[in-house]
Amino acid sequence: MDDQATGWRAAIRRFLPPLLVILLIGSLGTLLYSASNASRDHQQALDEQRRSYEIIALARAFEAKTARAEVTLARYVISLDPDTGRLFQDQWRGAASLLKTMSYATRQSGWQQNNVSALQVAFDQRGKTLSDIGLRTTYDQKMAALAKFHQAGKSEDLRQITMLLDRVIEAENARLQERSEAVSLAGDRNEWVGKTSQLFGLVLLVCVLFALWLANAAYTERRNARRQADDETARADRLEAAVAARTVELSDAYEQLKKETAERAAAEENLRQMQKMDAVGQLTGGIAHDFNNMLAVVVGGLELAKRKLRLKPQEASRHLDNAMEGANRAAALTRRLLAFARSEPLLPSAIDPDALVSGIGELIDRSIGDQITMAFDNGAKGWRIFVDQHQMENAILNLCVNARDAMEGRGHLVIRTGQAHLAANEIGECVEGDYVTLTVSDNGCGMTPEILSRVFEPFFTTKPVGKGTGLGLSQIFGLVHQCEGEIRIESEIGKGTSVHIYLPRHIGAEGEAGMDAHAPEREPVLQPPTRILVVEDDPRVLNQTMAALAELGHLPIACDHPSKAARLLTSHRDIGLIVSDVLMPEMTGPEMIRTLPAAHAHVPVLFVTGYAGDTAERADFAGHEVLRKPYTLMGLSHALSNALSGSHHPGTAAAAE
pLDDT tens for 467-500 read: 444 456 777 888 888 888 999 989 888 888 999 9
Name the residue type at position 534. V
Task: Tell me the C-alpha distance between 367 and 297, whole Å.
Answer: 17
User: What is the Cβ-side half-sphere exposure of residue 31, based on CA atoms within 13 angstroms?
Assistant: 24
Give me the pLDDT at residue 577, please. Answer: 94
Instruction: Find the range with the poorest average confidence among 128-132, 151-155, 210-214, 396-400.
Output: 210-214
pLDDT of 278:
54
CB 440 within 8 A of CB 418: no
Task: Indicate the residue type of 298.
Answer: V
Confidence of residue 521 (pLDDT cuts 50, 70, 90): very low
Indicate the pLDDT class of residue 103, thresholds 50, 70 and 90.
Answer: confident
Residues 384-388 have a mean pLDDT of: 90
159 near 119, Cβ under 8 Å? Answer: no
User: Is 622:357 a contact under the CB 8 Å cutoff?
Assistant: no
The whole-number pLDDT of residue 359 equals: 81
Give the pLDDT confidence score for residue 24 in this predicted structure: 65
Average pLDDT over residues 408-434: 89
Going by pLDDT thresholds of 50, 70 and 90, the confidence category of residue 615 is: very low
Is the four-CA dihedral 19, 24, 29, 31 of positive or negative sign? positive
Q: Look up the pTM and report it.
A: 0.39
* Under 8 Å between Cβ of 496 and 452: no
pLDDT in tens, 20-33: 667 667 766 776 66
566 compared with 633, residue with greater pLDDT: 566
Is pLDDT above 80 for 446?
Answer: yes
Angle at 174 between CA 169 and CA 178, to 5 degrees: 140
Residue 294 clears pLDDT 90, i.e. is over it = no
Q: How confident is the model at residue 327 (pLDDT cuts 50, 70, 90)?
A: confident
Residue 190 vs residue 118, higher pLDDT: 118
Q: Is the pLDDT of residue 555 over 90?
A: yes
- Indicate the residue type of 279: A
| Per-residue pLDDT reduced to its tens digit, 131-158 | 878 777 777 666 777 777 777 767 777 7
pLDDT-derived band at 268 (thresholds 50, 70, 90) equals low
User: Residues 6 or more apart from 639 whose CB is under 8 A from it?
Assistant: 606, 625, 627, 631, 654
Residues 440 and 498: beta-carbon distance below 8 Å? yes
Closest by CA position to 420, among listed 507, 504, 489: 504
pLDDT bin (cut points 50, 70, 90) of residue 459 is low
Percent of the chain topping pLDDT 90: 12
pLDDT at 408 over 70: yes
* pLDDT of amino acid 292: 61
Q: Phi and psi for 347 in degrees, rounded to 5?
A: -120, 75
Report pLDDT for 215. 63
Summarize the confidence of residues 313-333 as an average pLDDT: 70
Residue among 479, 418, 491, 415 at smallest CA distance from 452: 491
Query: In this model, does residue 618 exceed pLDDT 60?
Result: no
In this model, does residue 560 exceed pLDDT 60?
Answer: yes
Residue 308, φ and ψ in degrees, nearest 5: -95, 0
**Which of 101-110, 309-318, 540-549 shows the lowest per-residue confidence on average (mean pLDDT)?**
309-318
For residue 626, what are the β-bridge partners?
607
Which of 241-255, 360-374, 396-410 is the least confident region?
A: 360-374
Could you tell me the pLDDT band of residue 614, with boundaries at 50, 70 and 90?
A: very low
- pLDDT of 71 above 70: yes
Residue 656 has a pLDDT of: 41
**Quick check: 651 pLDDT over 60?**
no
| Lowest mean pLDDT across 36-45, 525-534, 574-583 | 36-45
pLDDT for the residue 646: 74
pLDDT over 90 at 437, yes or no: yes
pLDDT band at 335 (very low <50, low <70, confident <90, very high): low
pLDDT of residue 516: 43
